[in-house]
Amino acid sequence: MKGVKVEQVNGNYQVTSDLEKPIPDPNQLLVKPIFGAVNPVDELMRNSGILITNWPWTPCCDVAGVVVEIGSEVTRFKVGDKVFGCQGVGFPGSGGAAEYCLFSEDIAFKKPDHISLAEAATMGVGNQTAALGLWNGLDIALPDPQNLPAISDEWVLVLGGGGSVGGYAVQLSKLSGYKVIASVSARSVGAAVAHGADETVDYKTPVDGQVAKIKEITKGKLHRIIDTTAFNANFVKKVLEEIKDDAGEKYFASVNDWEDCGILPGDAKFYPISLGPLGRPEAKEINEALSKFIAVIQVLVDASKVKPSEYNLVDGTGFESFIEAVKVQSGGSAKKVVAQLQEE
C-alpha cells in the first residue's frame, strides 16, 4: 500500500507504495486515514529511533478516518464509521500516514457529526496525554460526563496551556471542576482563554514575578501542576517552594518522562506522563486507563464540551502533504498542523 516511510534512524520521509497493508485482529478496525496531524513525537522518533519497533517506520499518530473493515469481535463500530484518536506509535499498523492503519476498538473515538474529520485529527494525542496527566497523575477524580462537578475553588496550573496537550489539559481540568491558571506566551493567551483558562501568566516575563502572580491568584488553593511543555521542572520547583507550606498534598505531572526531577519541595508527588507505550500488549495499565478515559471524553466531545484545537491545514491532498506538515510544525507553528492524506 501507499504511504510515508522512513527506512532508518534519521532517514528521510519518503512516499512509497511498498508498505505492508495491516490486517486487523479480532478487536481492531482497519481504518482509511483521511486527515493526520503532526506531533512533536514524529520528528523525535525519526531523529532518534525511539519507540520504533520495526523499520521501515510510518509516522503520524493523530488520525481521523473511515472504518473499512472490522475484526470479528468488534461490537462498537461498523464499516463506514468515522473514527479518530491516537493508537500508539512505532509498531506495525500504527502509522497513520498510509492508505490504511489499525485502530483498537477500546481506544478509538467515534467522530460526531458536528466535528469535521480535519478537526478530529487534532483531538487524539492532546486529549489522551492530558487525560493521563490529570486523572492518573494529579489526583483529579474522573468526572461523570453526564453530571459534571461544579467548579471548586481549587486551581490547576497548566504550563503550556495554549498548546495542544496544554489546551486539552485546560479543558479537562475545567470539566473536572477546577479553576485553571495557564502559563503561556503572548501569542497563546487567546488559545488558553478559548480553552477555558481563568487566568494566564506570561512565561516570557521574569520568573519571580510569575511565581508571585500565581501565588497571589491561587491564594493557598493550588495543589496541582501539569507541565505540558517538557522543559519546566525548574520553574515548577520554584512554584512548589512558594506553596509548600500551604495545607494539603501537592502533585506535579509532566510530559517529560525521561528526566528524574528528584525530591520536590513539599514532597510533591511526581507523575511522568507516558503515552508512548499506548497500544502495546505490555502497556496494560495505560491501555486500560485510556480506554476508561476515552469513554468519558467521548461523551464530552459528543456534547460539544471538549472542543477541537485550532489548526493549520497544509495545501494539497496526499501523503506528501504530511511531509510538508512536519516541516511547517518544525518551523514553530503556534497551532496544530494537519494534512489531508487521502480523499474520503
Query: Is 59 in contact with 95 (CB distance < 8 Å)?
Result: yes
Pick 58 or 254: Cβ nearer ligand NAP: 254
Query: Is 244 in contact with 250 (CB distance < 8 Å)?
Result: yes
Part of the chain binding ligand NAP (CB under 6 A), chosen from 17-25, 37-45, 88-96, 141-149: 37-45
Considering only 87, 104, 173, 228, the residue that binds ligand NAP (CB under 6 A) is 228
| Residue 14 Cα to chain centre, angstroms | 26
CB of 163 to ligand NAP, least distance (A): 2
Pick 98 or 197: Cβ nearer ligand NAP: 197
Q: What is the DSSP letter of 219?
A: T
Query: Is 317 in contact with 340 (CB distance < 8 Å)?
Result: yes
Report angle CA 300, 304, 309 to the nearest 5 degrees. 95
CB of 214 to ligand NAP, least distance (A): 12
Residue 4 parent element (H or E): strand 3-5
Q: How far, in Å, are 20, 95, 110, 230 from residue 37 at the CA level?
A: 22, 12, 17, 20
Q: Interface with ligand NAP includes 184 (CB under 6 A)?
A: yes
Q: Interface with ligand NAP includes 187 (CB under 6 A)?
A: yes
Considering only 66, 125, 325, 337, the residue that binds ligand NAP (CB under 6 A) is 125
Q: Interface with ligand NAP includes 40 (CB under 6 A)?
A: yes
CA within 13 Å, CB half, 280: 13
Pick 14 or 47: Cβ nearer ligand NAP: 47
Which ranges of the chain does DSSP label H, i.e. alpha helix?
Answer: 40-48, 117-120, 125-131, 164-175, 189-195, 207-218, 233-243, 284-302, 319-330
Q: Distance (Å, rounded) from C-alpha 325 to C-alpha 340?
A: 10
Q: Interface with ligand NAP includes 170 (CB under 6 A)?
A: no
Query: Is 143 in contact with 119 (CB distance < 8 Å)?
Result: no
Q: Interface with ligand NAP includes 87 (CB under 6 A)?
A: no
Considering only 58, 176, 232, 287, the residue that binds ligand NAP (CB under 6 A) is 232
Pick 24 or 161: Cβ nearer ligand NAP: 161
CB of 122 to ligand NAP, least distance (A): 10
Q: Interface with ligand NAP includes 200 (CB under 6 A)?
A: no
Q: Interface with ligand NAP includes 51 (CB under 6 A)?
A: no
Pick 30 or 239: Cβ nearer ligand NAP: 239
Pick 16 or 274: Cβ nearer ligand NAP: 274
Q: Interface with ligand NAP includes 229 (CB under 6 A)?
A: yes
Q: Distance (Å, rounded) from C-alpha 64 to C-alpha 216?
A: 42
Contacts (Cβ under 8 Å, ≥6 apart) of 154: 177, 178, 179, 221, 222, 223, 224
Considering only 257, 259, 267, 288, the residue that binds ligand NAP (CB under 6 A) is 257
Q: Distance (Å, rounded) from C-alpha 231 to C-alpha 242?
A: 19
Part of the chain binding ligand NAP (CB under 6 A), chosen from 23-31, 51-59, 104-112, 230-238: 230-238
CB of 314 to ligand NAP, least distance (A): 16
Pick 101 or 278: Cβ nearer ligand NAP: 278
Query: Is 176 in contact with 140 (CB distance < 8 Å)?
Result: yes
Which residue ranges make up the site for ligand NAP (CB under 6 A)? 39-41, 125, 129, 159-160, 162-166, 183-185, 187-188, 203, 228-232, 255, 257, 273-276, 334
